[in-house]
Structures are given as C-alpha cells and as structure tokens.
Amino acid sequence: MRTLFNKNNPPPNLLLIDRDGVILKHKEPYILKSDEIEFVAGSVEALQFIASMGIPIAVVTNQSPISRGLIEETFVENTNCYIQKSLQLSNDQIKFYYCPHTAEDACFCRKPQTGMLEQACIDFDKKASECWMIGDHDTDMQAGINFGVSQRIHLLSGRQNDKSAYATDICLDLLSFVQKYFKN
C-alpha cells in the first residue's frame, strides 16, 4: 500500500476528530434526539480502518445544547457509547471528550480553546506535534492551530462547506481522507 507518509511527513500518532458533521451527520440546530443520530456515509469504515492502522482516535466535540438546557449530559454520553459500539473499538482505540459550555461561558475546553485536545494527549500519552485535527468548521482548525498539531484537515461533510482558511488540507469526508492519506 502506498501512502503520503515519509520521513518528512510522518503519519499522525493521534487523530483529534470532531463529532457532529464529521462522524455523525450535522443536524440544525443540534442533534437533540436519538432518532436524529445518523452516521456520515463511510465514516464507520474510515474510523475502523484508522484504528486498524494502530492510530488512536480522540473525538473532541462542543456540545453547548447541554448548557442551553436542550439535552442532558447523559444523551451525549449515550450517543458517544453508541458510536463506540457501532465502530466496535475499545477504550484504548477511541476516547470521547465533550465541552458542555456555550461560547459565552468562556471556558478552557470549548474549541477553539485547547482543553479537550490537551486532555486527549495526556490520556493517550502523545505530544501535540504528533497529532492531526480533523473537523468541519473553523473552530476545529483554530483549535488545532492553538494546540500546535502538525496537520489540520477540513472536511466538507458538515456545516461549513467552504474551505477553512485555517486548514492545511481539505477532503470531502472521513472516507475520502482515508483514501487520500492511507490508500493512495
């Protein structure tokens, strides 16, 4: 298998991946009920392939509907468990991090801040420079810049369909990312 990786462009040692619009289809204004949970086409297969390559996955997601009183934290946790079970991945392969705050809360965990990314690197024992950020919005790319990841991949499968100025590359979705970087 030929990849884009080499000595000067090593593969990531940890993928930091947004959830809604990347793994799950984005719903307006938010995913609020279990019947709204739907995977982006190819995302399950893409994440399973990434995990099979030995690359751990940290899902980092802003979930302001919690602070807005629209959903309970247990809904987010149950959704994350559903994703993990659907992927058939262990806790060593995938972990979930979420920020329940709104932008007005000015917390340290909400992207573009780096709190969730930092915790993921602690939990997986990785350095920021070994990580790649994958997301569908400027805030994901800005979080990657703020944290110092080596690559920021903007996916067009979510809510921001024009390329982020903060991205190092662009792909249609997770499956096209895997095809471009791992199966090319």
Active site residues: 18, 20
121 marked among binding-site residues:
no
154 marked among binding-site residues:
no
Q: Output Rg (C-alpha) for the chain, integer angstroms.
A: 15
107 marked among binding-site residues:
yes
- Coil vs helix vs strand at 84: helix
Q: How far apart are CA 55 and CA 94, in angstroms?
A: 9
Residues 6+ positions from 162 with CB-CB distance below 8 Å: none
Q: Strand 94-99: give its sheet, edge to edge.
A: 94-99, 57-62, 14-17, 131-135, 151-155, 169-171
Tokens for 91, please give them. 């806790």
169 marked among binding-site residues:
no
131 marked among binding-site residues:
no
Q: Please state the residue numbers annotated as binding site for Zn(2+).
A: 99, 101, 107, 109
Q: Please state the residue numbers annotated as binding site for Mg(2+).
A: 18, 20, 136
Q: Please state the residue numbers annotated as binding site.
A: 18, 20, 99, 101, 107, 109, 136
